Structures are given as structure tokens and as C-alpha cells.
Amino acid sequence: MIAFLEQAKRSGKKVAADGAAAKGNTLLNFCGVGTDLIEYVVDRNPHKQGHFLPGCKLQMYTPEKMEETKNEVVLATAVSAVGAVASPSPCLN
């Protein structure tokens, strides 16, 4: 995962994460992923938006943030996010 994210950044691609669940945050922290590799994370839970993930310090936004920034790489950190990320979406064009 780290090699993939580093290659994406070297290629100039914008990287975001989808899903701010505890398991995804644990994965990011275990791998040492932070703002150097991922710009931000989106989550559908309004109670998480506007806060930062513990440890990796990624800011959490609404899913609409991806429509604004047009990220080329989206890391799905929650199983529930895979369907949303894998489905055709205007924000991933």
C-alpha cells in the first residue's frame, strides 16, 4: 500500500481516503500514512466531519469534497466504502 501511495504522489496524482472507521484509521497509522501521502479523508458521518483522524492527522470532510478536488486515487479504508468508490461517479472522472 505504501509503495502504491508513494508512486501515486510521485506521479503527481491527488490521493484521498474514503471512510474514517476505526479499522481504516488503524491501518493508516500502522503503515505510517499521513498527510504526506493522503490529502484528506471523507466520511458520511456528520459527527466526524471537520475533525482529524487520530495519529495520522488527516482532516475529515463530507464526500462532496471529492467532487471539488477531483482526486485521481481514492483509498477505500472501509469495506462499506468500496461500493461507493468503485461505482461510476462524476467526482472520479
pLDDT in tens, 19-77: 999 989 999 999 999 999 999 999 999 999 999 999 999 999 999 999 899 888 999 88
For the beta sheet containing 73-76, the strands, ordered from the edge strand earlier in sequence to the opposite edge, are 60-61, 41-42, 15-18, 73-76
Q: 26 lies in a domain?
A: yes
Instruction: Please give the residue range of the domain that contains residue 15.
Output: 2-79
Q: 62 lies in a domain?
A: yes
Q: 36 lies in a domain?
A: yes
**pTM for the whole structure:** 0.80
Which residue bears the cell 472520479? 92
Q: How many domains does the structure of the chain reveal?
A: 1
Quick one: which of 85, 41, 39, 38 has its CA closest to 62?
A: 41
Q: 67 lies in a domain?
A: yes
Q: 51 lies in a domain?
A: yes
Q: 91 lies in a domain?
A: no
Q: Inform me whether the pLDDT recorded for 88 exceeds 80.
A: no
